[in-house]
Amino acid sequence: MESVGAAGRGQATDELAPVVTQGPDPVTAERIRDGLSVAEVAERVAAGGVNDLPPTTSRSLWQIVRANLFTRINAIIGVLFAIIVVVGPLQDALFGGVIIANTLIGIIQEVRAKRTLDRLAIVGEARPRVRRGGRTVDLTSSELVLDDVIELGAGDKIVVDGRLAAVDGLEVDESLLTGEADPVVKAPGDNVLSGSFVVAGSGVFTATRVGRDAYAAQIAEEAKRFTLVDSELRSGIDRILRFVTWAIVPAGIALIISQLLVNRDDLPEAVRRMVAGLVPMVPEGLVLLTSVAFAVGVIRLGKRQCLVQELPAIEGLARVDVVCLDKTGTLTEATMDVAEIRPLTPDVPVETVLGALGLVDERPNASMRAIVERCPAPAGWSVRETAPFSSARKWSGATLVEPSGRTGTWLVGAPEMLLTEHPALTEADTYGRQGLRVLLLARYSRPLTEALAEPTAVPQATVPVALVVLRQRVRPEASDTLRFFADQGVAAKVISGDNAVSVGAVARSVDVPGAAEPVDARTLSTDPQVLASTVETHSVFGRVGPQQKRAMVGALQSRGHTVAMTGDGVNDVLALKDADIGISMGSGSAAARGVSQIVLLDNNFSALPSVVAEGRRVIGNIERVANLFLTKTVYSVLLAIIVVLASVPYPFLPRHLTLIGSLTIGIPAFVLALAPNVERARPDFVRRVLRFAVPGGVLAAAATIGAYAYARAHYGGDLAAETSVATLTLFVVALWALSIIARPYTWWRILLVLGMGLAFATVLVVPALQEFFQLRLVGVQAPLTGAAVALGAGLLMEAVWAVTRRRAATPPSAPTD
């Protein structure tokens, strides 16, 4: 039966007239058949005619180093560090070491993420089929050269610009480039553009523009994918940093002047206390931890064979509250088996016809592959015309010539698309209710061209011949995965192009809520409001076309939902593109992988809970630690203002605040940022963070300045003792804030808080550390007073936290560790 496919392909090639491309050579029939020779490829490589696009998933090593090292925050801290190095002692320059460590951590984590992305991208990238030296080979996109002869099939992504040399029912979707929704029927000599994809048929084209000259490369700078743009989390942090910058400038200037005046007899001491007041105003670790959390997310998902093509996708996953699932390839495995062939018309060689139809298509879909495996290839049959499968038509067909010379046109596809009223439809529904997929083989009494021109009129000229019953294998992990979504408050919508009854049966077998009432998408209203209401209130939809999938995603988004879409076929591309998060299967079409933010390279549907959980971990933990950093910024700014107004020495040296910041913010924040967290993200990140950070910072500043004022009155000028009491007070308040932010408690969170407290106590009792950090608690009364003031502030902070949690939309979920 190889002669069937060969006949169809040879006919298209042999009838082709030479077509001139923008390359140096005319495209002859011989060139189309054999492609470029090794010598011709070498010539084009030497001339620079290579598809040398920059990598699309990650930044270069130099870009990573530059982005982590040359930042505004590092510049500010670096200048202050240099000042302290000049005036000494080096104990007060410890904050510089923290910045260096943070920068190195950021670089190392992002380099690890880059390597993970680059490795996975190689596995998941599109590999065009190219004719070279008389053979067809699979190449990477970067190996293509000018004038390469490239084959196209349904689901292929077009990676370079070119001109078509041969077509067989080729339809190309250019909506990602032009915005036009309808597929474009192509003819020999037509141009194809990179960034578009094949929805039906097959063809051959020659590359006319490659690399940066290609159309898609000119309209999109895809090399910038590895960024944090369009991220609500990042934009919220940027807003906070802009506010902090405006607050730091006047507070810093005033602090510099006041400390120089107050400590005019001791300039180095004035400089040290001025620097001590400025350093903690900068939330230096917040941006770093955001980048680290995203990078670690990439690495963790990479270990589960999940390719994250855009970093904001990790954050977006945390906000998902609806996941739309394509049945085939997601709930069920992509492979199928023929369970039964049910003849409807006598004296028709059903399996022979199916065998011929199955081998007409060079790239059969899963249904046709199952038919080909079941039905033997007949000898002596040939093909006259073909109609490739289309997601819109939901059938394929061919005009076949039997060995006797008799011709017949045959269609195979969805029964309800090929028939209107017939007992076979009832029988098909009976199979469908058992979760089986049913195709109809029908004889068509008119020319195949008429069926392509008027698909709606097809049922008027068909005679049903046989039902082909296919058994789909439900993924064993599907039920547990959907249960996870239900437990996490994420609604699941099964959206499939298959028969609604069959989709409903499969959905019931994996316990999808609402599966008992499947909806046939052909009955859906085109009114956006009615459609949105229907999609919200139902869970299972069958016979959904590509444009309907896109419309349904948009309808859910119009109701305020954050939508993730999973799919693997070319009919899912438009919906994947429009969804907030597109998730495709690694075995899916190149077009589907190309528009998705996340690719499940091993096609493991059970990885989706991990993907969603990773997003929630990132954004939930960044919000958690942002409370700590912003609390520090608030109390630092307030302390500076109060010190300026009171004309007193700043109550800390840089080493004191480095110690407090490291034990109550730096080390705990790094641990908390990478901890498990399953709480679904909510909007208004900045407002929620400031709701705790502002009153928490005010209480910390008030307690510290109160204890400092008491110590000044008690000690009467012993600045070291006064500073020690202030340090004790601020540490206790900051540790209390940490104990609040670390909730809900687990064993390791309790150990974290206790460990930080124990570390500070060690500094207070070990003489060498007392000397190093210049901390000396004199007497009992003042230190106890400072501790009592701190405890009072901590209790007030508890009240603030209680109010904050009551205002939250949902209570925090317990961690899963």
What does DSSP say about strands 519-520 and 540-542: parallel, antiparallel, or unpaired?
parallel
pLDDT higher than threshold 80 for residue 232? no
pLDDT at 745: 86
> Which CATH number characterizes residue 261's domain?
1.20.1110.10
In a domain, 33, yes or no: no
- Written as six digits, the tokens of 179 are 């915005």
- Written as six digits, the tokens of 778 are 């004199």
Burial of 214 (0-12, 13-18, 19+ CB in 10 A): buried
pLDDT at 280: 78
Least confident range of 188-202, 452-466, 486-500, 802-816: 802-816
Angle CA(209)–CA(210)–CA(212) in degrees, nearest 5? 105
Which residue, 443, 474, 505, sits at the end of a domain?
Answer: 474
Residues 569, 517 share a domain: yes
216 pLDDT tier (thresholds 50, 70, 90): low
Helices (H), ranges, 408-527: 415-418, 423-432, 448-453, 478-487, 500-509
Structural element, H or E, at residue 443: strand 437-444
In this structure, the number of other CB atoms found within 10 A of the CB of residue 771 comes to 11
Query: How many Cα atoms within 13 Å fall on the side-chain side of residue 43?
Result: 11
Mean pLDDT, residues 539-559 taken together: 88
In a domain, 180, yes or no: no
Gap between the Cα atoms of 754 and 740, Å rounded: 13
Mean pLDDT, residues 470-492 taken together: 83
pLDDT at 387: 83
Helices 312-319 and 284-303: crossing angle in degrees, nearest 10, is 80
Contact between residue 773 and residue 762 where contact means Cβ atoms under 8 Å apart: no
Residues 766, 666 share a domain: yes
pLDDT higher than threshold 90 for residue 728? yes
Which residues, in sequence order, are bridge partners of residue 453?
none
Mean pLDDT, residues 379-386 taken together: 85
Dihedral of CA atoms 201, 206, 211, 212 in degrees, nearest 10, equals -90
Total domains in the fold of the chain:
3
Angle CA(111)–CA(113)–CA(116) in degrees, nearest 5? 110
In a domain, 277, yes or no: yes
Round the average pLDDT of the chain to a whole number and report it.
Answer: 80
Angle CA(788)–CA(656)–CA(248) in degrees, nearest 5? 100
Residues 400, 293 share a domain: no
> Which CATH number characterizes residue 563's domain?
3.40.50.1000
Choice between 641 and 677, residue whose per-residue pLDDT is larger: 641
Burial of 778 (0-12, 13-18, 19+ CB in 10 A): middle
Residues 482, 470 share a domain: no
For the stretch 670-674, contacts whose Cβ atoms lie closer than 8 Å and that sit 24 or more positions apart, written own/partner, are 670/105, 670/285, 670/289, 670/292, 671/752, 672/621, 672/624, 672/625, 672/741, 672/742, 672/752, 673/289, 673/292, 673/293, 673/621, 673/622, 673/624, 673/625, 674/292, 674/293, 674/296, 674/617, 674/621
Gap between the Cα atoms of 508 and 503, Å rounded: 9
Mean pLDDT, residues 549-574 taken together: 85
Residues 587, 717 share a domain: no
Gap between the Cα atoms of 677 and 685, Å rounded: 16
Residues 484, 469 share a domain: no
pLDDT at 56: 52
Residues 582, 462 share a domain: no
pLDDT at 235: 76
In a domain, 149, yes or no: no
pLDDT at 784: 94
Residues 621, 723 share a domain: yes
Contact between residue 312 and residue 562 where contact means Cβ atoms under 8 Å apart: no
Contact between residue 364 and residue 358 where contact means Cβ atoms under 8 Å apart: yes
DSSP 702-718: HHHHHHHHHHHHHHSS-
pLDDT higher than threshold 80 for residue 294? no
Contact between residue 735 and residue 741 where contact means Cβ atoms under 8 Å apart: no
Which residues, in sequence order, are bridge partners of residue 396?
412
* Active site amino acids: 326
Which residue, 583, 603, 623, sits at the end of a domain?
Answer: 603
In a domain, 553, yes or no: yes
Helices 232-262 and 284-303: crossing angle in degrees, nearest 10, is 150
Query: How many Cα atoms within 13 Å fall on the side-chain side of residue 483?
Result: 8
pLDDT at 123: 55
Residues 513, 493 share a domain: yes
Gap between the Cα atoms of 531 and 513, Å rounded: 19
pLDDT at 10: 34
Closest C-alpha to 371, from 382, 357, 384:
357
Which residue, 577, 603, 629, sits at the end of a domain?
Answer: 603
Q: 3-class DSSP state for residue 385? A: strand
According to DSSP, residue 542 is labeled E
pLDDT at 16: 34
Least confident range of 123-137, 206-220, 502-516: 206-220
Residues 776, 628 share a domain: yes
pLDDT at 609: 80
In a domain, 439, yes or no: yes
Query: Which residues lie below 8 Å from residue 38, measured CB to CB, with a gap of 6+?
Result: 132, 133
pLDDT higher than threshold 60 for residue 220? no
Gap between the Cα atoms of 311 and 57, Å rounded: 9
pLDDT digit string, tens, across residues 384-393? 888 888 777 8
pLDDT higher than threshold 50 for residue 14? no
Contact between residue 50 and residue 59 where contact means Cβ atoms under 8 Å apart: no
Domain with 624, as residue range(s), is 61-115+226-298+612-807
Residues 526, 470 share a domain: no
Which residues, in sequence order, are bridge partners of residue 136?
131
Gap between the Cα atoms of 554 and 531, Å rounded: 10
Gap between the Cα atoms of 492 and 540, Å rounded: 9
217 pLDDT tier (thresholds 50, 70, 90): low
Mean pLDDT, residues 45-70 taken together: 73
Gap between the Cα atoms of 383 and 398, Å rounded: 7
Gap between the Cα atoms of 75 and 263, Å rounded: 27
> Which CATH number characterizes residue 423's domain?
3.40.1110.10
pLDDT higher than threshold 70 for residue 15? no
pLDDT digit string, tens, across residues 236-293? 777 777 777 777 778 777 877 887 787 766 777 777 777 777 777 777 777 777 777 7
Mean pLDDT, residues 324-347 taken together: 82
Residues 773, 638 share a domain: yes
Choice between 748 and 126, residue whose per-residue pLDDT is larger: 748
In a domain, 191, yes or no: no
Angle CA(98)–CA(104)–CA(110) in degrees, nearest 5? 135
pLDDT at 8: 36
pLDDT higher than threshold 70 for residue 173? yes
pLDDT at 226: 38
In a domain, 47, yes or no: no
Which residues, in sequence order, are bridge partners of residue 338?
470
